[in-house]
Chains A and B, each alone.
Chain A
Amino acid sequence: MSIGTYIAMDFWRNLRNIGNSFFVIVLPTVLFLFFGASMEWSNVPVGEGNVSAWTMISIACYGAAMAATSLAGSAAVELQQGWGRQLALTALPHGGFVMAKTAVALGIAVLPVLVLNITGVFTVTDMPVGTWIATALLTVVGVVPFALYGLAIGMAFRSDAAVGTATGLLVIFSFLGNAFTPLDGVLLDIGRFTPLYGVVALARYPLTGGDQISMNGIAGNDPLWMVLANVVAWTLVFAAACLMLQRRRTRRQ
């Protein structure tokens, strides 16, 4: 048995899926090159780095969340379309599928973070090295609630189209999550309660210490507990949805 071969082939299968790779890797990189690396304000200092760093982290979070949602969602659809039964007829141990899929999803989610950070290094992004590494790691951690979100949608609707829609919705979450255009006022107040806000704010925490930047300077400061509360709350909401759907599903099996 060689589960490594299985993981590698599944990784490659997902990577060559043009739709996935485009939205997960190409689009975020292009967005960053436009809005994060070539604007007149890209070099303006923010926290420990500059605006370009702020933008890079935001877009990396968006790309990683896309990857996690799409992979987890398609995994749920795969299982329910009978691939799980096919795997159950092999020597793959119980829980092996989850392990393999986690490895693949993490691998794919790391790609946009890696590509964007490298693009950042070679353009105008500026952060101290320690801060840089911390934000990159937090970006990857931030995929957890979105993996659960994708899983829940995949289990609930059992179709690739639904997973596609769920992935598309992330554009709205990213906007409300203060990841695309800097928000202030009422929109920022509303945004604080949306799922992508927490993980983006968390990933940017090492850079600004919780300050939220807008076109007019600093629009507010989020204490760390608030940022963590958002991440934990949404993780729990999506996890609960998964458990409920799982129970509904196994009732028939």
Chain B
Amino acid sequence: MDTAPVISLRGVRRSFPSGGGRVRAVDGVDLTVCTGEVVALLGPNGAGKTTLIDMILGLTVPEHGTVEVLGTTPRKAVTAGRISALLQTGGLLPDLTVRETVRMIASLHRAPLGVDEVLEAAGATDFASRRVSTCSGGQQQRLRFALALLTRPEILILDEPTAGMDVNARRAFWDSMRSLADGGSTVVFATHYLVEAEQFARRAVLMNAGTILADGPTDEVRQRAGVARVTVTWSPTDTELQALEHVVDVQRHGPRLEFRTDDADGLARHLLTHTDAHGLEVAPASLDEAFRYLTAGETERTVAA
């Protein structure tokens, strides 16, 4: 597969006034996304995800740094229909029908696909004549999906795409998204459902307070956060316990000891070869934990500095 960079941000900064001063929503971000990648953008509210997405789409201009999309400016890529987005809640007119909404937005694109074609692709044909105000959250989201598909974009940006969906709608949504990604489209999505990142994205970018904390294959990011769990049956002495390295935290559950570690292999090797610990189990921690660990670490570092 061709892996040319399609999105590239260099030293991007953007701040907003807040109270008396200014808050740096995005504070020095470098990010490159290549053709066909599926990237999850993770972070708590206020991490800067939406501002970052707005800059990739040309809805906001960075104060410092450059944003390049498909070798040109975001606005030109949008105008050409080569990048598209499924925006967060809102952005629809309640008194239009689903089909009318698609027709209206289609009329503002240079070479849109057919209205019926995108309704079909987004699974919105069944309720196409319904007013937007009477559509469920999941149906509105499928409508937004249809709008995003209108220009057959090479890059699709999703900002919290499954917010307000029930479990079934969420599964159906990711199924259609997966087939799109399999077709070679580049997908970047912001989410706070970490499960979605684990299941759907091959790459995860963790943001907090406007900066990128970790960026890499989703599995690796999780490992880098250092939170694998190693559980053994063992009754160590204090000296033995203190001799252990790479242990973040330890908890006792009856005869079992549960370690949180950033080097599961090393810890397991040590426990099995140098101690009488047995019944060893290793489990990767969820991204949720990785995320909590990384952002907490960041806060401590900031406080210390």
Do A and B bind?
yes
Selected contact of A9 from candidates B57, B59, B104, CB within 8 Å: B104
A82 to B92, CA, bound (A): 7
Is B147 interfacial (CB 8 A cutoff)?
Answer: yes
- Known: A9-B100, A13-B95, A252-B16. Is A87-B108 also a contact (CB below 8 A)? yes
User: Binding site of A, secondary structure by majority: helix, strand, loop or mixed?
Assistant: helix
A3 to B95, CA, bound (A): 20
- Known: A9-B100, A13-B95. Is A3-B107 also a contact (CB below 8 A)? yes
A86 near B16: Cβ-Cβ < 8 Å: no
- Known: A1-B110, A17-B95, A86-B92. Is A10-B104 also a contact (CB below 8 A)? yes
CB-CB contacts below 8 Å: B166-202 with A: none
Can you list 21 contacts pairing A with B, beta carbon distance less than 8 Å? A1-B109, A2-B107, A5-B104, A6-B107, A6-B108, A9-B100, A9-B103, A9-B104, A10-B104, A17-B95, A82-B88, A83-B91, A83-B93, A85-B87, A85-B90, A86-B91, A88-B57, A88-B78, A89-B84, A89-B85, A91-B108
B67 to chain A, nearest CB (A): 15
Is B20 interfacial (CB 8 A cutoff)?
Answer: no
A253 to B16, CA, bound (A): 7
A5 to B112, CA, bound (A): 14
Closest to B61 in A: A253
A80 to B184, CA, bound (A): 34
B62 to chain A, nearest CB (A): 13
Is B60 interfacial (CB 8 A cutoff)?
Answer: yes
Chain B residues with CB under 8 A of A6: 104, 107-108
Contact with A along B74-94 (1 / 0, CB 8 A): 000011110011011111110
B100 near A13: Cβ-Cβ < 8 Å: yes
Chain B residues with CB under 8 A of A3: 107-108
Chain A-chain B contacts (Cβ-Cβ < 8 Å), number = 75
User: Which of B85, B89, B108, B110 lies at the interface centre, i.e. has the most chain A CB atoms within 10 A of its CB?
Assistant: B108
User: Which of B57, B87, B91, B109 lies at the interface centre, i.e. has the most chain A CB atoms within 10 A of its CB?
Assistant: B91
User: Which of A4, A17, A78, A83 lies at the interface centre, i.e. has the most chain B CB atoms within 10 A of its CB?
Assistant: A83
Contact with A along B127-170 (1 / 0, CB 8 A): 00000000000000000000100000000000000000000000
- Known: A90-B105, A90-B108, A91-B108. Is A251-B17 also a contact (CB below 8 A)? yes
A92 near B103: Cβ-Cβ < 8 Å: no
Is B268 interfacial (CB 8 A cutoff)?
Answer: no
Query: What is the size, in residues, of chain A's interface with B at 8 Å between Cβ atoms?
Result: 26
Chain B residues with CB under 8 A of A246: none
Selected contact of A88 from candidates B16, B59, B89, B100, CB within 8 Å: B59
Is A181 interfacial (CB 8 A cutoff)?
Answer: no
Selected contact of A82 from candidates B58, B87, B95, CB within 8 Å: B87
Selected contact of A251 from candidates B16, B58, B100, CB within 8 Å: B16
User: Binding site of B, secondary structure by majority: helix, strand, loop or mixed?
Assistant: loop
A20 to chain B, nearest CB (A): 10
Per CB-CB distance, the 3 closest pairs between chain A and chain B, nearest first, are A82-B90, A82-B91, A90-B108
Is A81 interfacial (CB 8 A cutoff)?
Answer: yes
Selected contact of A78 from candidates B60, B79, B93, B107, CB within 8 Å: B93
A residues with a Cβ closer than 8 A to B are 1-6, 9-10, 13, 17, 78, 81-83, 85-92, 96, 251-253
Query: What is the size, in residues, of chain B's interface with A at 8 Å between Cβ atoms?
Result: 30
A92 near B90: Cβ-Cβ < 8 Å: no
Is B96 interfacial (CB 8 A cutoff)?
Answer: yes
Chain A residues with CB under 8 A of B103: 5, 9
A245 to B185, CA, bound (A): 40
A85 near B16: Cβ-Cβ < 8 Å: no
CB-CB contacts below 8 Å: B38-86 with A: 57-60, 78-81, 84-85
A5 near B79: Cβ-Cβ < 8 Å: no
B150 to chain A, nearest CB (A): 8
User: Which of B58, B89, B92 lies at the interface centre, i.e. has the most chain A CB atoms within 10 A of its CB?
Assistant: B92
Contact with A along B270-291 (1 / 0, CB 8 A): 0000000000000000000000
Selected contact of A89 from candidates B60, B78, B107, B110, CB within 8 Å: B78
Closest to A90 in B: B108
Chain A residues with CB under 8 A of B95: 13, 17
B204 to chain A, nearest CB (A): 25
A81 to chain B, nearest CB (A): 5
Given contacts A1-B108, A91-B109, A92-B108, 15 further A-B contacts (CB under 8 A): A3-B108, A5-B107, A6-B108, A13-B96, A82-B88, A82-B90, A86-B87, A86-B91, A86-B92, A89-B59, A89-B78, A89-B84, A90-B108, A90-B109, A91-B110
B90 near A81: Cβ-Cβ < 8 Å: yes
Contact with A along B217-247 (1 / 0, CB 8 A): 0000000000000000000000000000000
A67 to chain B, nearest CB (A): 17
